[in-house]
Amino acid sequence: MMPKILLVNPPIYDFAAYDFWLKPYGMLTVAGYLRGKADFMLFDYLDRLHPFMAEQKGLESDRWGRGRFYGKRVPKPKTLSAIPRYYRRFGLPRDIFKSFLKREGPFDFAFVQTTMTYWYEGVQEVIEDIRRVRPQAKIILGGNYVMLCSGHAEKLGADFLVEGTNLEPLWKYLGVSPDPKQPALWEVYNKLSVGVLKLSDGCPFNCTYCSVPQVYGRFKSRPLERSLAELKILCSLGVENIAFYDDALLFEAEKCFMPFLNEVLRQNIKVNPPHIRRINLHTPNAFNARFITQGLAELMVRAGFKTFYLGFESASLQWQQCTGSKVLCDELAQAVSRLISAGAEPGNITAYQIIGHPHTGAGELEATMRFVNSLGIRGMLADFSPIPGTPDGEYCRRWVNMDEPLLHNKTAFPILLLGFGEVNRLKELQRQLNSTVVG
C-alpha cells in the first residue's frame, strides 16, 4: 500500500504579510519526486483560492495574481514587545484545519513547509494540531527555517528534519525511492492561478547578508526538460502568473535561462485553454542587473516577463564593495535602459534597496532612493532580516539575540536599529518618490 502523506503550508505570525506569489515550493518539489508513489493531500493555510477566502472582502488579487491574506490580530510575543506595530496571524482559521484533519485522516506522514526563520510560530501551531488530532502521523519539517536554525527547530517536537539539500536521509526515513525527473506536485491544488518555477540552485556571489551560498553552494542549473515539463503542468492547471524563485536566474543565462525561454517561445507554451492569454512571468526574488544584455532583455519581454525586480540594495560604492560587489550603480542604470528599450514598462521595474542593514546609514539610503528614482523606475525598501551564520547576521548579535529567530523579523530589526520614526519617514519618502514614476 502507498503511504498517505499530508502536505501543510502553515499560517504566518508577523506584523505584516502579503501574497507576493508565495507558494510552498520546497515541499511541492519533494512531493513531486514521490509522484505516483504516495497518496497526497494538501492543506495550504495561505491558499487565497480556498472557498473560505471567497467569502472575505478585500482579498481580491491584483492583475498579476498577488493580494492580501486573511488575517486576525493576536497578542505580540514578549520578545517583540518593543515594536510599536500590531501583530497578526495570517491564513485560514485554525478550525478549518482541525476539521480537515478529522475528516481526511489518518495519515502516515505529514510534511510541513517552513519558510522565514521568524515564522516558526505557525509551524508550532500546525505540529500541535496534528499531534492532537492525528497522533500517529510522523511529522517531517523541511525548508529555510529548518536549514538555518536546526537547533531551534529540533525543539518544536517534529519527528524528522530535512536540515540540508541532501534528501537521501528523507528517502530512507520514508522507505520510498524518489524519481528525481518528476516536477513539483502542483496538481495537488484544487484550483491554482499562480505558480512558481526555479531553473537553478545556488549563487556564484557571496554577499555578506545572505545565506544562499552557504546553504546551496556553487551555482547549478536544474535539468531543462524537467523545468519545461513543470511549466506545462502549470499551464494545464490554468495558471496565469508564474514567479521565478531562482537566486541567480540570469547567471550563465546562455546555459539555462535563455534555452528555457527560447523553448517556451518555440513550443508556444500558453495557458490552458489556449485562447485565454499568455502567461505572465515575474521575478520577485530579484535578478542581477549585471547580466542583462540587450538581447536577454528582449527575450525576457517576448517570453512574457511583466514585472522586473532588481537586487540593488545600495548606491554606495563602499557598501557594495564591502558586502560582495554583486552590482554597481552604472550596471543598474544600463540594465534599466535595456529593459525599457526592450519594451518593459518603467512602472513595472523595481529596484530593491536595503533598509536597516547595520552598515547603511539613513543618509546613504536616501541617496540610494534618489538614484533609483532618477532612473525613472520604482524603488522598494527591503527590510533587513539578520540571518544567523552570515557575516552580517553574526555582527547583529550586538543588538539582538540571534538564537531567538523571532528577532530576525524584517519589520523588527530596522525599527530596533533606526527607530520607528526614522523607518516611517524613509518609507514615506519612498512612497513620494514612487508617485513620480510613470506607468
Query: Which residues of the chain form contacts with ligand SF4 (CB under 6 A)?
Result: 203, 205-207, 210, 212-213, 247-248, 311, 324, 326
What is the DSSP secondary structure assignment for residue 335, as one 8-state letter?
A: H
Choose the one of ligand SF4, ligand B12, none that binds residue 245, judging by a C-beta under 5 to 8 angstroms depending on kind.
ligand B12
> Which stretches within 324-390 are classed as H helix?
329-342, 362-374
Q: Which partner in ligand B12, ligand SF4, none is near 162 (CB below 5 to 8 A by kind)?
A: ligand B12
Q: Which does 335 bind (CB under 5 to 8 A by kind): ligand SF4, ligand B12, none?
A: none
Q: Which is nearer to ligand B12, 27 or 153 (CB)?
A: 27
- Give which of ligand B12, ligand SF4, none residue 205 binds (C-beta under 5 to 8 Å, depending on kind): ligand SF4
Q: Could you tell me if 202 and 233 are in contact, meaning their C-beta atoms sit under 8 angstroms apart? A: no
The least distance separating ligand SF4 from the CB of residue 229, rounded to whole angstroms, comes to 26
Q: Which is nearer to ligand SF4, 7 or 315 (CB)?
A: 315
For residue 387, the partner it binds in ligand B12, ligand SF4, none, with Cβ less than 5 to 8 A by kind, is: ligand B12
The single-letter DSSP state of residue 375 is T
Residue 401: CB minimum distance to ligand B12, A: 14
Please check whether residue 419 is in contact with residue 92, taking contact to mean a CB–CB distance below 8 angstroms.
no
Helices then strands (H, E): number in the chain?
Answer: 17, 18
Minimum gap (Å) between residue 312 Cβ and ligand SF4? 11
> Which grid cell sits at 142?
523541511
Q: In the bound complex, what is the minimum distance in angstroms from residue 383's beta carbon to ligand SF4? A: 15
Q: Which long-range contacts (CB under 8 A, 24 or more apart) does 82-88 make?
A: 82/416, 83/15, 83/409, 83/411, 83/412, 83/415, 83/416, 83/420, 84/415, 84/420, 85/15, 85/16, 85/411, 85/415, 86/15, 87/13, 87/14, 87/15, 88/13, 88/14, 88/15, 88/16, 88/17
Query: What's the min distance (Å) between Cβ of 202 and ligand SF4?
Result: 8
User: Among residues 177 and 262, whose Cβ is nearest to ligand B12?
Assistant: 177
Q: Which is it for the CA torsion 115, 121, 127, 133, positive or negative?
A: negative
Residue reference for cell 541532501? 166
Q: DSSP string spanning 120-163?
A: HHHHHHHHHHHHHH-TTSEEEEEEHHHHH-HHHHHTT--SEEE-
Contact predicate 386/396, CB 8 Å: yes
Closest CB to ligand SF4 among residues 240, 247 = 247
Tell the smallest beta-carbon distance from residue 295 to ligand SF4 (Å). 22
Q: Which CB, 326 or 378, lies closer to ligand SF4?
A: 326
Nearer to ligand B12, 64 or 118 (CB): 118
Separation of first and last alpha carbons in the chain = 56
379 binds, among ligand B12, ligand SF4, none (CB under 5 to 8 A by kind): none
Exposure string for 311-335, b = 16+ CB within 10 A, e = fewer: bbbbbbeebbeebbebbbbebbebb
* Short-list 267, 255, 207, 156, CA closest to 391: 207
Q: Which is nearer to ligand B12, 201 or 240 (CB)?
A: 201
Q: Which is nearer to ligand B12, 208 or 337 (CB)?
A: 208
Could you tell me if residue 286 is left (phi over 0), alpha (psi between -120 and 50 degrees) or otherwise beta?
A: left
Q: Least Å distance between CB 326 and ligand SF4? A: 4
* Residue nearer to ligand B12 on the CB measure, 112 or 253: 112
Cα separation, 439 vs 428, in Å, equals 20
Give least dist CB 209 to ligand SF4, A: 7
Spell out the residues 6+ positions from residue 363 whose beta carbon is closer than 8 angstroms to its own.
Answer: none
Q: How far is the CB of 276 from ligand B12 (least distance, A)?
A: 26
Residue 92 binding: pick among ligand SF4, ligand B12, none (C-beta 5-8 Å cut-off by kind): none
Please state, in angstroms and rounded to a whole number, the distance separating the CA atoms of residues 249 and 310: 11
* Partner in contact with 213, chosen from ligand SF4, ligand B12, none, beta carbon below 5 to 8 Å by kind: ligand SF4
Please choose which of ligand B12, ligand SF4, none residue 238 contacts, taking the beta carbon within 5 to 8 angstroms, the exact cut-off set by kind: none
The site partner of 412 among ligand B12, ligand SF4, none (C-beta below 5 to 8 Å per kind) is none
Give the residues lining the site for ligand B12 (CB under 6 A): 17, 20, 22-23, 25-27, 29-30, 111-113, 115-118, 140, 142-144, 162, 165, 167, 198, 201, 210-212, 216, 245, 247, 284-285, 382-383, 385, 387, 408, 410
Q: Which is nearer to ligand B12, 71 or 143 (CB)?
A: 143
